Amino acid sequence: MGSFSRILFISLTVCSVVVANFSVSSEARAFFVFGDSLVDNGNNNYLATTARADSPPYGIDYPSHRPTGRFSNGLNIPDIISEQLGTEPTLPYLSPELEGRKLLVGANFASAGIGILNDTGIQFFNIIRITKQLKYFEQYQQRLSTLTGPDQTTRLVNEALVLITLGGNDFVNNYYLVPYSPRSREFSLPDYVRYLISEYKKILGRLYELGARQVLVTGTGPMGCVPATLAQRSRDGNCDPELQRAADLFNPQMIQIINELNSEIGTTVFTAVNARRMHMDFISNPQQYGFVTSKVACCGQGPYNGIGLCTVASNLCPNRDLYAFWDPYHPSEKANRIIVSQFMTGSSEYMNPVNLSTLLAMGERT
């Protein structure tokens, strides 16, 4: 082989490897995540914000045993969904590692502290509000497009699984943050919920415009029952009725906008995830799920370990698998596994209209 043809041969080989590397493989299903701390894989580590989980004991049960920015002792809900998809966990969008073929796995745009409304989480300063997360999703698609071309990018996004988790902070870190908060003076609870829902519908519509076609939308969990709420508002250890009422108002209206959007589009793009119900199972009967308690957080201080943040100075339970709540607001990895198993195989009371195993089977390419 002459030196010119040798060079040509080598460059052709290099080219085909590059192409092979960036073609959207037939097995991979990308995964995109939007929302708040329940699903943030570490974006806030890259931001000047107080909403962060970047110091021990966060991550104590993560494979690296180090904090990663996840609000969990170990894996969070998106990580466990990634396991089910057979893919690597999604990287935070702001991670410098998210480049090249790693873009094919998807991306996590979530940011702890945010809500449906722009004014939710203002106390945390620099966080990625939902409209910014959607802008980043557009930017991601432009970046992927330079590697795979626009058609492959559109295909990858259309076939991807998408998870969006919003709403909890609009209550706990806005409406109920302080007595007589601006939003609670502006709106009665039912009017506030209607406003949130109308804004949520716009966000979901935008996600569809950006190419999302298989979207799991979680409602709010049982906010009245988390250790933080028990510590602040409960005298007897029972769930706070006011915050439960907020979730009871929010969730059915969320299902309603999902049904509306699906019928406007003419097909099932959005699936409602009943996060309240999934949590209530183990909150009502912790022992049945192998927990010693669902009231006391593993990591924290004060009543129910529900006051302040989880830090190195906090009480820390020795066996995290025995606690439904890792910190005052966030489930333990063990609880996250129970939740994701309901995503996978739950009845229509948990996943509406279909569960994730059915959804993934329907989307399987022939």
Ligand X SMILES: *[C@@H]1O[C@H](CO)[C@@H](O)[C@H](O)[C@H]1NC(C)=O
The binder of ligand X chosen from 7, 10, 17, 48 (CB under 6 A): 17
Closer of 126 and 287 to ligand X (Cβ): 126
Closer of 307 and 354 to ligand X (Cβ): 354
Residue 82: active-site member: no
Interface of this chain with ligand X, residues 96 to 115, rule: CB under 6 A: 100-101
Binding track over 125-154 against ligand X, x by CB under 6 A: ------x-----------------------
In the numeric block, which tokens belong to residue 154?
Answer: 């559109």
Residue 330: active-site member: yes
* Candidates 36, 40, 170, 327; catalytic one: 327
Interface of this chain with ligand X, residues 178 to 207, rule: CB under 6 A: 199
Closer of 131 and 285 to ligand X (Cβ): 131
CB 242, min distance to ligand X, A: 24
Interface of this chain with ligand X, residues 332 to 361, rule: CB under 6 A: 345, 347-348, 354-355, 357-358
Binding residues for ligand X, rule CB under 6 A, total 15
- Tell me which residues touch ligand X (CB under 6 A): 17, 20-21, 100-101, 118, 131, 199, 345, 347-348, 354-355, 357-358
The residues that are catalytic are: 37, 327, 330
